[in-house]
Amino acid sequence: MAWLILFSPLIACLLITLITLRNSKLSSWIAVTALLISLGISSSFFLKALLTPHWKPMELSIHWITLWSLKIEFGLILDRLSLLMLMVVTGIGSAIFIYSLGYMKEDPGKSRYFACLSLFAFSMLGIILSNNFIQMFIFWELVGASSYLLIGFWYEKDSAADAGNKAFLVNRVGDFGFMMGILLCWSFCGSGLPERTFNFNQIQHIFSEMVGAGLLSPKLLVVAGLLIFCGVLGKSAQFPLHVWLPDAMEGPTPVSALIHAATMVAAGIYLLARLFFLFDASPTAMTVIAYVGAFTSVFAASIAFVQNDIKRILAYSTLSQLGLMVLAMGLGGRLEAMYHLTTHAFFKALLFLGAGSVIHALHTQDIWDMGKLFKKMPITSITFLIGTLALCGLFPLSGFWSKDEILLLAFEKNIFLYRLASVATWMTSFYMARAFFVAFLAPEKKIHHPVHESSWTLTGPMIFLAIGACIAGFIHIPEFILGHDVLESHINLPIAFTSQAMSLSGIVIAFFLYAYRDAWGAKKLKEIFKIFHIILSRKYFMDDLYNGIVKYIQQNIAVLCHLTDRNLIVRFGVNGVAKITKTSGEFLRFCQTGRIQTYALFFFAGITVIVFVFILK
């Protein structure tokens, strides 16, 4: 049964590509059914874990590669952590799959879309269920590949095709570190043991023994931890590998919702949680992780201030929220991070779906082209508002609970990071409110064809997610993961009030700047802080920097290698030898008159000489 959770989307993907590629309607339903099957099975496990008092985690595995020297398993791990993630991925995934039914209805590549989406679901479930490093890496890469396919889904658009490449390559850079981290872990975990292993549980076991015995040098731990964290940087789009995520918005909107907001980017956080024992052993690595998270969170939020594309605003807000989760992980708050991951998945998916609904109706992504949508698309608007408020962390929506936990944690552990996180919270509410006011409340700027509310396949999932965004905070995720009650109380009133005040002030300022007197204040502000505006809209020149590196450094290395090959090795080495041979031939060929008589003359002259020599002797 448990295997079916993982393989049912893969089967769907194969069915679609091999058989039903022509019939797009059937293909889409196959994909939806397959994911619903996964959802059903995982929720049965989830309920069992929730209701059984002493539920024991399960692990199933088969041998995938068995060599004399190397054993790699292929297994499933079903513990509370993976069950929670399973519920998030299959639950939100199902909603988005259904949403896609409506959103992609007219697209000629619908079958391909659902095949890729199923492949993505398979890979994502694989990451969650992996019980060893190699399997994790396999699905890690597969997620990257399926995301590449989906971002570049509209491959005829140059921007989409480029964005796909960018995403894949940036992820590869992260995976380069991840792979080395895996190998490093493998080589120090179990040296001296008969069999080395990649299995998480076994490594954890060995690890705790070795740490206990003081066998591991702290330097090695830091290196291993940070290398593995490189993978997280790539997949969860943390600074400095964040550049791919905003571009990834070139994909269809449901894809952005599923992959680049709710699930795939959460894989990095999940990895941190899964390997928490490893990071926990090295305080230096943890500090680095926490600072990277906090920095990304503020950094991305500031860029979101000046974005005009509704999906890009959401993308930067995703970066910022992921930064908060990474910060929580870095401060040792595994539960808090997972809590925020869950709630964030709900409201971010909801926001993307809302944006998708608007884009579907208006065919534009620029918030300044929208406006006055509240009347035309009431359901979309209300659900979007719920999502926005949840993201801003207003009481009693889900964002409040989880964000508050993180702030509290930061307050207790590191006051500087707490301040950064609070600033990020304020910024979040500001730019989200800005997007909402401009897109939904401001008077419309362009006259569009008549705009209607979207059909039920679009609104249904949105309503479902909106309910989730409201109530997800009340489900006590940390307790579920631990399997027992958390002893300390969660709410620290001063902190909660501060965060509420921050969020509200952000919203109010945004209101005065953008919803009041035709965004007059915003224009004024833009003129005053022109330089900041340019820096922000160029995304701190990060893209230009990377493009420069690729264009000037990498391309020059490539050309250098090419020219060395062509001029040094071929011209001097290979053709040089050939030329020597040829030149010596040029000289020797004068002996070769091609006339038999010349040869005969030499021949007889030679014989005569020999005969004379013999006679004279």
Partner 1 sequence: MIPLSYYLILSGILFSIGVLGILIRRNAIMILLSLEIMLNAVNLSFVSFSRFSGNLEGQIFVFFIMTIAAAEVAVGLAILISIFRNKKSVDTDYMKSLRW
Partner 2 sequence: MGILTYILLLPLLGALVILFLPKEKETWIRRTAVAATFIPLVLALLVWAKYDRTLGGYQFICRIPWVPSLGITYQVGVDGIGVVMLLLQGFCSFAATLISYFIKTRIKEYFVFLLFLITSVYGVFISLDLFFFYLFYEMAVLPMYPLIGIWGSTNKEYATMKLTLYITTGAVLAFVGLLVLYFASGIHSFDLIALEEHCAAHPLSPELQKFLFALIVVGFGVIASLWPFHTWSPMGYAAAPSGVSMLHAGVLKKLGAYAMIRIAINLLPQGAAFWSSTLATLAMMNILYCGWAAMAQKDMKFIVGYSSCSHMGYVLLGIACLNQTGLNGAVLLIFAHGIMAALSFALIGYCYEQTHTRRVDELGGLAKKLPFIATCFSLAAMASSGLPGFANFVSEIMIFIGAWENLTPQAIAAIFGIIITATYLLRMIRHTFFGPLNPKWEHLKDATAPWQKLPYILLVSVLVIVGFWPSLLTKPIDLGISSILKRSERNIDRMFVKNNISIEKSEPPKA
Least distance in Å: CB of 610 to partner 1? 15
By rule CB under 8 A, what count of residues binds partner 1?
Answer: 10
Residue 118: name the closest of 207, 9, 209, 37 by CA.
9
Nearer residue to partner 2 within complex by CB, 528 or 570: 570
Q: Which stretch binds partner 2 (CB under 8 A): 162-170, 238-246, 497-505, 529-537?
A: 162-170
For residue 604, the partner it binds in partner 1, partner 2, none, with Cβ less than 5 to 8 A by kind, is partner 1
Least distance in Å: CB of 141 to partner 2? 5
Upstream peptide bond of 240 is cis (omega within 30 degrees of 0): yes
- With CB under 8 A as the contact rule, the residue among 137, 188, 244, 464 that binds partner 2 is 137
**Do residues 309 and 537 lie in contact, with contact meaning Cβ atoms separated by under 8 Å?**
no
Least distance in Å: CB of 581 to partner 1? 15
- With CB under 8 A as the contact rule, the residue among 7, 176, 512, 540 that binds partner 2 is 176
Bridge partners (DSSP) listed for residue 66:
71
- With CB under 8 A as the contact rule, the residue among 26, 36, 50, 161 that binds partner 2 is 161
By rule CB under 8 A, what count of residues binds partner 2?
Answer: 51
Reading the block at residue 569, the tokens are 């090795």
Least distance in Å: CB of 606 to partner 1? 12
Least distance in Å: CB of 592 to partner 1? 7
Residue 238: CA count within 13 A, CB half-sphere: 27
Nearer residue to partner 1 within complex by CB, 574 or 607: 607
**Do residues 328 and 269 lie in contact, with contact meaning Cβ atoms separated by under 8 Å?**
no
Residue 399 burial (10 A CB sphere; 0-12, 13-18, 19+): buried
**Do residues 268 and 337 lie in contact, with contact meaning Cβ atoms separated by under 8 Å?**
no
Nearer residue to partner 1 within complex by CB, 596 or 616: 596
Residue for token pair 């995938």: 64
Q: What are phi and psi of 64, to 5 degrees?
A: -95, -55
| Strand 58-66 relative to strand 71-78, pairing | antiparallel
Interaction mask 528-557, partner 2, x per CB under 8 A: --------------------------xx-x
For residue 589, the partner it binds in partner 1, partner 2, none, with Cβ less than 5 to 8 A by kind, is partner 1
Q: Which stretch binds partner 2 (CB under 8 A): 148-156, 319-327, 382-390, 469-477?
A: 148-156
* Cα gap 85→269, rounded to integer Å: 11
- Please measure the distance between the N-terminal and C-terminal CA atoms of the chain and give it in whole angstroms: 103
For residue 161, the partner it binds in partner 2, partner 1, none, with Cβ less than 5 to 8 A by kind, is partner 2
* Cα gap 368→331, rounded to integer Å: 39
Nearer residue to partner 2 within complex by CB, 10 or 542: 10
Q: Which residues contact 515 (CB under 8 A, 6 or more apart)?
A: 437, 438, 441, 442
594 binds partner 1 (CB under 8 A): yes
Sites for partner 2 among residues 408-437 (CB under 8 A): none
For residue 172, the partner it binds in partner 2, partner 1, none, with Cβ less than 5 to 8 A by kind, is partner 2
**Do residues 316 and 261 lie in contact, with contact meaning Cβ atoms separated by under 8 Å?**
no
For residue 162, the partner it binds in partner 1, partner 2, none, with Cβ less than 5 to 8 A by kind, is partner 2
- With CB under 8 A as the contact rule, the residue among 62, 487, 596, 613 that binds partner 1 is 596
Residue 49, Cα to own-chain centre: how many angstroms?
A: 29
Sites for partner 1 among residues 597-616 (CB under 8 A): 597, 600-601, 604
- With CB under 8 A as the contact rule, the residue among 78, 117, 179, 241 that binds partner 2 is 179
Residue 241: name the closest of 176, 146, 333, 286 by CA.
176
Bridge partners (DSSP) listed for residue 593:
none
Q: HEC string of 3-47?
A: HHHHHHHHHHHHHHHHCCCCCHHHHHHHHHHHHHHHHHHHHHHHH
**Do residues 423 and 298 lie in contact, with contact meaning Cβ atoms separated by under 8 Å?**
yes
* Cα gap 396→409, rounded to integer Å: 19
For residue 179, the partner it binds in partner 1, partner 2, none, with Cβ less than 5 to 8 A by kind, is partner 2
Q: Which residues bind partner 2 (CB under 8 A)?
A: 63-70, 134, 137-139, 141-142, 145, 148, 152, 155-158, 161-162, 164-165, 168-169, 172-173, 175-176, 179-180, 183, 186-187, 554-555, 557-562, 564-565, 569-570, 573-574, 578
The residue ranges that bind partner 1 (CB under 8 A) are: 589, 592-597, 600-601, 604
